[in-house]
Every structure is written in structure tokens, then in C-alpha cells.
Amino acid sequence: MPLRPMTPSDDLMPFVLAAMNWRDDDVWTDQSVLADPQVAHYVTGWMRDGDAGVIAESDNAAIGAGWWRTFTSADPGYGYVADDVPELGLAVFAARRGNGVARALMTALVERARAEGVPALSLSVEDGNHAARRLYDSLGFVKVGRVGDSDTLVLRIS
């Protein structure tokens, strides 16, 4: 499965929707994402300086993506831990889950972070998202906090 870097012309919204709708309940829509400031800041102004990502493709079509965004304490994301620690997002479209796509995306992001001297990566994982949690645990992410029904996890890179 080929991976390619995300570019400013890539539309992040389908991936944010897939991540937010991980239960396959389609609760989140483009409009509800943009109407919620805590979620909208994940897509607004994509790809700004410091944003990075990778897309997995099959037959020249995107099947998943992993990305990061750096937030500040004044406008934190769900998995915020520090201004210099990017927060990860990950989405694999439902039909392609369970085939190693998420692991390949996460591995590529960790390798990029290491190459760029990023000190750590963070993310937020909701209760019940067992497949994602197993992946993050297997990659060495550790719980550093809890907000609502989600754990905040961190992977120290350097």
C-alpha cells in the first residue's frame, strides 16, 4: 500500500469525519464539525505551517490518513499536552480497517517526527475505541491524562 505526504491541496475533512465517526454512526457532518470550535480547529486553515500528514492509497484512491497539528494552551486540542508537541489524528475508512493501514500511517508519522526532531506526539482516544487503543499501546504511547470519556496519550520521540 503506497503512502504519500499530505499537501495543502488535500482535503482533510473526510479524514476528520472518519476519525470523529469511528463508531460508523455518522453523527458528525461537515457542518457540525465546522460549527463546533473545539473540532473545527482541526480542519480550519489546513495545512498551516507545522502541520504534517501522510495518506494511504489503494488503486489511486485514499483509504486513510494520519496527520498532526500543533496547538497552543490558548486553543488546545483534545489531546493537547504542550505547545511543542503535535497532536495526531488518524482515520482509516471503514472498508479498509483491520489490514494494517493504521499501523503503517502511524509508523510513518513517528519516523517523520523522529527525523524532524519532534520531542513527542500526543493524541486522544475515546473509551470504547479498542482497536485504536491497542494500536497506540503497541507503539509505546502512554496515558498522561484524561478529559471526559477520552484518555490523552503521549509517545516520547527524543
List, in order, residues 6 or more apart from 115 with CB less than 8 Å away: none
65 within 8 A of 54, measured Cβ to Cβ: yes
Q: Give pLDDT, residue 157.
A: 93
The residue type of 111 is E
Closest-CA residue to 66 (of 86, 41, 38, 37): 86
3-state secondary structure of 10: coil
Length reported for the chain? 158
Instruction: Name the strand (E) or helix (H) holding 5.
Output: strand 3-5
Site of grid cell 503512502 = 3
Q: Give pLDDT, residue 2.
A: 93
3-state secondary structure of 101: helix
Q: Give pLDDT, residue 104.
A: 97
Q: Give pLDDT, residue 99.
A: 87
Question: pTM of the predicted model, to two decimals?
Answer: 0.92
CA–CA separation, 42 vs 70, rounded Å? 10
Q: Domain ranges in the chain?
A: 3-156
3-state secondary structure of 74: coil
List the chain pLDDT tens, one digit each, 158 residues. 899 999 999 999 999 999 998 888 889 998 999 999 888 888 999 999 999 999 999 998 999 999 999 999 998 988 899 999 999 999 999 878 888 999 999 999 999 999 999 999 999 999 999 999 999 999 999 999 998 899 999 999 97
CA–CA separation, 58 vs 150, rounded Å? 31
**Architecture of domain 3-156 in CATH?**
3-Layer(aba) Sandwich (3.40)
CA 114 and chain centroid, separation: 17
CA–CA separation, 91 vs 70, rounded Å? 18
The residue type of 71 is F
